[in-house]
A and B are shown apart, each in its own frame.
Chain A
């Protein structure tokens, strides 16, 4: 792996810096510890959903129903907790099971009946939205009865205490160093090119700087928010799945050339159904997080989140034709989306303009994707 610092990567980092500078100047609170902490929660939620989306975009499909799904799953859990007085943890289980089932069914319809994912999930978008509103009876259903914190509300209000946060970051850094060193040794022993030592050190050093800066910021507020930890686990799992399992390789192969993958003995249908089912699990996690973040299940929870997730994927270098995309890229794409949306909320930009901004970013990202593919 030589260093591939493409014009694309460069322009992404530049846009992120530009976004931060713009909002920092426009609104002094943008870079406050409190807001950065909130931004990190929003990033975690967007990125988690986008990583699920990555799983179905890699084999060349799409899912437009995840936004409605987020609302529905959060709504189911909220109704069980608030209306039926279930303990939060117990309420999570059916919500998650329902999500897995729904997305297994959508995946099955897409590959077995050969209905384009676009259509199936467009139908899903409407159906789940309607089901969501039925479930909450178009009321506002708080996640914590009587305002007493429970496991549900803690999802986005728990913070890892500062001291533990430092400890965790130290541990993560140590793990990163070990993994990098072992990876280098292994690659070298198998006769592959490795980065030269200085470059490898520089990469690690920059990563460490970024992580330290992050933990310094959030510790000024209350420590690392729980959603960020959840994102960390989800990202790790998806990274391992996409890079180190036969299933993950098959996702890339199907997206790269489905016919060749089929003839090569890739169980195409099973793999795609598996990807949708995993996405269902992630929709459930996101649904719980987003509903907890809103404090209650209301009719607008999850609105346009499918578009944010797709935009995060595409901005992060995922090809909508399939076969190309990475976990790190998607998280970076989500960071750009979250920074933008958070900044606009802070500036009290009207919803009309927010819609337009989202649309412009999505269009630009897809346009870039198409341009890049034509090269």
Chain B
């Protein structure tokens, strides 16, 4: 039986990174095929290729549909070939009714006007197909996330879809909604619609998939039929790389507790359920605490909340030294000796069209004051200190930050945080999107900070980095603690199991 959709030896390069290396993948007619892998393994890139978001010509290799070579030039092009993608973030308009959303952009017309009668009757048929028993006139905003997901699927099915791609569809769903979704997928399968299913949740994968393909570091590691593999086998395939000498962690003398978090629970905003629940941990001087977890586990939210930049505290306490931080803003967090290097440096880190000096001293201006004015000589001295000690590669302090490479931009963000003279440093994905050389410099900096007696909290999605650079590791799972591990206890299997919320016996 020829494959319905096949990717042959796909290589996709981004500036500085090879995201996919000779990846091959095939989808058989009417099967549910799960795609697994760590964050950054290349799943999303592969999907963007299959759905036409990365058009033909931007990658090497070949796509075949029904055994014939196809070249998708755009998403619309892929849709015409019967491929529909449902992303994690829903693309529905909450104010419009279900029916209006279903036919957005392809409303049935009578002359120049919308044929409302036809729109609503057709919507009813489409809704029935996904088993949604709702009036098609209901505004989408009134639906739960799970029901919205079904509307998205219904929308996709309206377009002669033969292949449905779901990217982490259950990330935001409750258990009951997950059940409905999985049942629906099986029904669709019975009607001959094939499905590529991406999920971190192995329980779901094993419940619904016919075959499982594991990607790691942009390469296909294995494809097994579900019956012929096990969860621990899949986990091993996902993480199974050796930790090389890439991580020069030199342990320092551990001192007093500098940051103490007790039973912290936080919601995104008033009247929302807790996003983080009952999180407790401490970090000592000279120590690196690694925090891991899957996408959406709440790592960034945890750091941003402690720093005073996110969320509403429902309970718990945060102490920096002997100072309690409550309803803090970043101004107070910085004053208490806490500094944050955000994961999204373009959004939260830099004023891109200003120069390096402006950005470096931005957090420290109130301290670099003489009377009412900025003490410009002291400012330049401080800027130059970090410019050279962090080895920022740029012509001068007056180079506009937006023109720098990712690694050098990151150094500016780090320099800005360190100039405030913190005792506790939060590094949220400090090596994301920077090259290997710059990564090594960041690791050396972490060693320097702990040698100076500072405490470092390192959030990373890369298990090797987490294991290589942390003295202790905290895994978050769906907003709560999934497990805590000393450096010696931490194995990739155990960490990943904790991130997945599973207990795994020591392998």
Q: Check A246–B374 contact: CB distance below 8 A.
A: yes
Q: Does B184 contact A (CB under 8 A)?
A: no
Write the nearest CB–CB distance from A8 to chain B, whole angstroms: 16
Write the nearest CB–CB distance from A272 to chain B, whole angstroms: 14
Q: Check A265–B330 contact: CB distance below 8 A.
A: yes
B residues less than 8 Å from A260 (CB atoms): 347-351
> At the interface with chain A, which of B35-43, B268-276, B361-369?
B361-369
Q: Does B340 contact A (CB under 8 A)?
A: yes
Q: Check A263–B369 contact: CB distance below 8 A.
A: no
Q: Does B203 contact A (CB under 8 A)?
A: no
Q: Check B347–A259 contact: CB distance below 8 A.
A: yes
Across the interface, A252 reaches (CB within 8 A) one of B342, B354, B368, namely B354
Q: Does B398 contact A (CB under 8 A)?
A: yes
Q: Does B373 contact A (CB under 8 A)?
A: yes
Q: Check B354–A256 contact: CB distance below 8 A.
A: yes
Within 8 A of B (CB), among A249-275: 249-250, 252-253, 256-257, 259-267
Q: Check B373–A264 contact: CB distance below 8 A.
A: no
Write the nearest CB–CB distance from B403 to chain A, whole angstroms: 14
Write the nearest CB–CB distance from A256 to chain B, whole angstroms: 4
Q: Check B366–A263 contact: CB distance below 8 A.
A: no
Interface range for A? 20 to 34
B361's closest neighbor in chain A, by CB?
A249
Q: Check B362–A266 contact: CB distance below 8 A.
A: yes
**B357-380 interface bits toward A, Cβ cutoff 8 Å, 1 = contact, 0 = none:** 010001101101100111011001
Within 8 A of B (CB), among A161-215: 186, 190-193
Q: Does B307 contact A (CB under 8 A)?
A: yes
A residues less than 8 Å from B376 (CB atoms): 186, 244
Q: Check A261–B307 contact: CB distance below 8 A.
A: no
A190's closest neighbor in chain B, by CB?
B380
Q: Check A256–B351 contact: CB distance below 8 A.
A: yes
A residues less than 8 Å from B362 (CB atoms): 249, 253, 261, 264, 266
Cα–Cα, bound, A193→B397 (Å): 11
Q: Does A52 contact B (CB under 8 A)?
A: no
Cα–Cα, bound, A250→B307 (Å): 19
Across the interface, B353 reaches (CB within 8 A) one of A191, A262, A324, namely A324
A residues less than 8 Å from B171 (CB atoms): none
Q: Does B334 contact A (CB under 8 A)?
A: yes
Q: Does A245 contact B (CB under 8 A)?
A: yes
Across the interface, B351 reaches (CB within 8 A) one of A191, A193, A240, A257, namely A257
Cα–Cα, bound, A336→B283 (Å): 60
A residues less than 8 Å from B351 (CB atoms): 252-253, 256-257, 260-261, 323
A267's closest neighbor in chain B, by CB?
B331
Q: Check A264–B353 contact: CB distance below 8 A.
A: no
Q: Check B365–A252 contact: CB distance below 8 A.
A: no
B residues less than 8 Å from A245 (CB atoms): 372-374
Cα–Cα, bound, A328→B368 (Å): 26
B353's closest neighbor in chain A, by CB?
A256
Q: Check A190–B358 contact: CB distance below 8 A.
A: no
Write the nearest CB–CB distance from A180 to chain B, whole angstroms: 16
A residues less than 8 Å from B373 (CB atoms): 240, 244-245
Interface range for B? 35 or more
**Known contacts A192-B398, A244-B373, A249-B374; A265 and B350 CB within 8 A of each other:** no
Q: Does B390 contact A (CB under 8 A)?
A: no
Q: Does B352 contact A (CB under 8 A)?
A: yes
Cα–Cα, bound, A372→B388 (Å): 34
Q: Check A263–B358 contact: CB distance below 8 A.
A: no
**Known contacts A260-B349, A262-B309, A264-B330; A246 and B354 CB within 8 A of each other:** no
**Known contacts A240-B373, A249-B358, A253-B362; A263 and B350 CB within 8 A of each other:** no
Q: Does B226 contact A (CB under 8 A)?
A: no
B residues less than 8 Å from A186 (CB atoms): 376-377
Cα–Cα, bound, A245→B370 (Å): 9
Q: Check B354–A265 contact: CB distance below 8 A.
A: no
Q: Does B24 contact A (CB under 8 A)?
A: no
Cα–Cα, bound, A266→B369 (Å): 14
B residues less than 8 Å from A266 (CB atoms): 331, 362
Within 8 A of B (CB), among A323-342: 323-324
Write the nearest CB–CB distance from B397 to chain A, whole angstroms: 8
Q: Check B330–A246 contact: CB distance below 8 A.
A: no
B368's closest neighbor in chain A, by CB?
A246
Q: Does B88 contact A (CB under 8 A)?
A: no
Write the nearest CB–CB distance from A53 to chain B, whole angstroms: 21
**Known contacts A259-B348, A263-B340; A193 and B358 CB within 8 A of each other:** no
Q: Does B494 contact A (CB under 8 A)?
A: no
Write the nearest CB–CB distance from B331 to chain A, whole angstroms: 5
Q: Does B125 contact A (CB under 8 A)?
A: no
A residues less than 8 Å from B377 (CB atoms): 186, 190
Q: Does B51 contact A (CB under 8 A)?
A: no
Q: Check A263–B374 contact: CB distance below 8 A.
A: no
A249's closest neighbor in chain B, by CB?
B365
A residues less than 8 Å from B330 (CB atoms): 262-265
Q: Check A246–B353 contact: CB distance below 8 A.
A: no
A2's closest neighbor in chain B, by CB?
B398
A residues less than 8 Å from B374 (CB atoms): 244-246, 249
Q: Does B416 contact A (CB under 8 A)?
A: yes
Q: Check A193–B365 contact: CB distance below 8 A.
A: no
Q: Check A246–B309 contact: CB distance below 8 A.
A: no
Write the nearest CB–CB distance from B465 to chain A, whole angstroms: 23
B residues less than 8 Å from A263 (CB atoms): 307, 309, 330, 340, 342, 348-349
Across the interface, A256 reaches (CB within 8 A) one of B342, B347, B352, B416, namely B352
Query: What are 19 A-B contacts defined by CB distance under 8 Å?
Result: A186-B377, A190-B384, A192-B396, A246-B368, A246-B369, A249-B362, A252-B358, A253-B354, A253-B358, A260-B350, A261-B351, A261-B362, A263-B330, A264-B363, A265-B333, A265-B363, A265-B420, A266-B362, A323-B354
5 new A-B contacts, CB < 8 A, other than A246-B369, A264-B363, are A246-B366, A260-B351, A261-B362, A263-B349, A266-B362
* Smallest CB-CB A-B distances: 4 pairs: A256-B351, A246-B365, A265-B334, A263-B348
